[in-house]
Structure 1
Amino acid sequence: MKPDFLPSHLQVRLIDYAILLRLNRPIGSLLLLWPTYWALWLAADGVPGITNLLVFTLGVFLMRAAGCAINDFADRKVDGHVKRTRDRPLASGRVKPKEAVALFLGLALLAFLMVIFLTNTLTLYLSFGGLLLAFIYPFMKRHTHLPQLFLGAAFSWAIPMAWAAETGELTNLAWLLFTANVLWTVAYDTFYAMVDRDDDLTIGVKSTAILFGDGDKAIIAVLQALVILILLLVGQQAGLGAFYYLGVIVMACLFVYQQYLARDREREACFKAFLNNNWAGFAVFAGLFLDTLFW
């Protein structure tokens, strides 16, 4: 819906900002949100503090938007050569590079100010690592075929932060969740990279989709299997019950479905496989929520 009370040129500007920050595409925020909730609920035995819940929920949306701004800044000279991204505000010139940097800094500052309200310094210290990962990830695709690994670390950093916010320490369970989410992110973002593989090869952008080549689906399947195994180990170490394991089983079934979708490596099918991961993350959270509710 357009803000009709504003002059038309401001409406257009706000819409371009919203598109730059992917406010019209919440999938990235949701893929960040579910693992953050895994950590909050497990660390707090199913009853996370209201302040932590609000701060991390808002922080996820702010940092995802900030990440999109700095990502498009980094890709401003190549997005115009990629079919899927050529109409983005920066690539098309509707938003200036300095505006994207300003939005990144402003949103990151807002997220940092919220972290200050948390009660322990460990979470505050960890937030600097999260900011660094969010900033450097977009530039990695020019230097390594593993930008998805850096994205995985960036998308997973909220897990130790949330754990520290709830418990004041970091335990093996926190790092198991972190590892599972890094592997999961590499898997689903490789599906995403398979959508742009032909364009990326032409313009010289690197990705795991290019690195894995014809072994892409098999390697994704191995990563997905490792995610399931680690989450089962989390359940065993945390003493979780049937609802949690049911959620993990649903995630495993969705992984099989994603492999089926991407069987021919068609662009739209690979994108659907990527989007399906929202439900995989939600399934694990729903199982964890129900399990801790009836603990």
Structure 2
Amino acid sequence: MNTLSHPDLSDIKRGDWVDRRLPLAWRPYTRLARLDRPVGIWLTLFPCWAALVQASHGIPELRHLIVFSLGALLMRSAGSTVNDIADRKFDGHVERTRFRPLASGQINVPQAVLFLVAELVLAASLLFFLTPYTRLVAICVLPLVFIYPLCKRFTHWPQAVLGAAFNWGMLMAWSEVAGEIPTGAVLMWLGAVTWQIGYDTVYAYVDMQDDARLGLKSTAILFGERGRVFIGTFYILTVAAWSVGGWMIGMSLSYFIGMLMIVAHLSWQTWRIDLSRPDVNYRLFLGNILTGMLLAATAFVGT
């Protein structure tokens, strides 16, 4: 596989809205929080919205939508900041990430840590709008947020840890709206975890050669040339978990028709994977925004 070198795949887009419109001092923090690359935020939001809809049996309360949307934004940004702090010495040697703020020296570690504290304080302030049970569920995700950046040093499965943390808002949505987390909701969350293992493995193939050179681990390195088979398997597990989970929480026939659309989209993605084409894999990763949209829409029509 060739190392990522196509300029369109660079992690930082020079001359984008951040460079054009924001003061110089704000730019590195905006990029540290990934506000210039919101794909991860959308991939966090859509499953969370789907869970809110399912737990509410229809349109969620506006306050729940606001609190959970802000929470997903802040925790995704905080997770990205933790990741960049932990990986700053590696990022400078990876083509895709070498222009990140810490790796390129635009800000230093103490500044990044202060920014992280601010993000966590803002996220913690949202807990006052949630029930005590949901606060407890929320606190339980913090170890995963801080462990994930270190996982690639000792396990090939950092994508699994990221998937568990990334989609934790689904469990919180149920605890807040319904006061419990039923088995069907846990299956929906597990489906989101396997979905993320699949699409984040596609993403990991973009960096596979650089990661291997640096001694880092990922599912892409573990799967090697069998990547398409494994990714397809995780997508099958995703649809199975979402289907059984949806049935257990009482989704209607329309929900399962929507699942067929998700099956078609994920099947197309699996068929398009080309382990030797980082540019193709990167676009397929971005295509999972549509998967998230389909999940949220399917949950809505299924209620």
Change beyond 3 A, Cα 1:49–1:77: same
Q: Which is further off, 41-50 or 182-191?
A: 41-50
> What corresponds to 1:202 in structure 2?
213
Give the Cα separation in 2 of the matches to 1:90 and 1:247.
Answer: 42
> What corresponds to 2:286 in structure 1?
275
Q: Contact 2:186–2:245 at 8 Å: present in 1 too?
A: no
Tell me which of the two structures has the higher relative contact order, counting C-alpha pairs closer than 8 angstroms and 6 or more residues apart: 2
Q: 1:107 aligns with which of 103, 119, 124?
A: 119
Instruction: Please list, as runs of the form range in 1=range in 2, the aligned pairs for 1:79-158 lying within 5 A after superposition.
Output: 79-118=91-130, 120-158=131-169
Query: How big is the shift at 1:273?
Result: 1.1
Change beyond 3 A, Cα 1:148–1:86: same
2:64 partner amino acid: N
> What corresponds to 2:237 in structure 1?
226
How many pairs are equivalent? 287
> What corresponds to 2:176 in structure 1?
165
Q: Contact 2:18–2:30 at 8 Å: present in 1 too?
A: no
Unaligned runs of 5+ in 2: 1-16
Q: Which is further off, 256-265 or 90-99?
A: 256-265
1:74 partner amino acid: A
Unaligned runs of 5+ in 1: none
Q: Contact 2:208–2:221 at 8 Å: present in 1 too?
A: yes
Give the Cα separation in 1 of the matches to 2:255 and 2:111.
Answer: 44
Are residue 38 (structure 1) and residue 50 (structure 2) matched? yes
Query: How big is the shift at 1:241?
Result: 2.4
> What corresponds to 2:72 in structure 1?
60
Query: How big is the shift at 1:131?
Result: 2.1
Give the Cα separation in 2 of the matches to 1:162 and 1:93.
Answer: 38
Q: Contact 1:152–1:181 at 8 Å: present in 2 too?
A: yes
1:117 partner amino acid: F
Query: How big is the shift at 1:24?
Result: 0.9
Q: 1:49 aligns with which of 48, 57, 61?
A: 61
Give the match's secondary structure for 2:24: helix
Are residue 237 (structure 1) and residue 265 (structure 2) matched? no
Are residue 176 (structure 1) and residue 192 (structure 2) matched? no
Q: 1:18 aligns with which of 19, 23, 30?
A: 30
> What corresponds to 2:12 in structure 1?
none
Q: Which runs of 4+ in 1 moved over 6 A?
A: 2-5
Give the Cα separation in 1 of the matches to 2:179 and 2:149.
Answer: 31
1:211 partner amino acid: L
1:116 partner amino acid: F
Q: Contact 2:19–2:27 at 8 Å: present in 1 too?
A: no
Identity %: 39
1:17 partner amino acid: Y
Q: Contact 1:250–1:280 at 8 Å: present in 2 too?
A: no
1:74-117: per-residue Cα shift (whole Å, max 9, x none)? 11000011010011111000011122222222112211111221
1:39-64: per-residue Cα shift (whole Å, max 9, x none)? 11111111322222111001111111
Are residue 265 (structure 1) and residue 276 (structure 2) matched? yes
Give the Cα separation in 2 of the matches to 1:114 and 1:35.
Answer: 19
Q: Which is further off, 45-54 or 25-34?
A: 45-54
Give the Cα separation in 2 of the matches to 1:3 and 1:237.
Answer: 48
1:261 partner amino acid: R
> What corresponds to 2:3 in structure 1?
none
Change beyond 3 A, Cα 1:243–1:97: same
Give the Cα separation in 1 of the matches to 2:275 and 2:148.
Answer: 29
Give the Cα separation in 2 of the matches to 1:248 and 1:99.
Answer: 45
Q: Which is further off, 197-206 or 254-263?
A: 254-263
> What corresponds to 1:285 in structure 2?
296
Give the Cα separation in 1 of the matches to 2:118 and 2:89.
Answer: 23
Give the Cα separation in 2 of the matches to 1:125 and 1:236.
Answer: 27
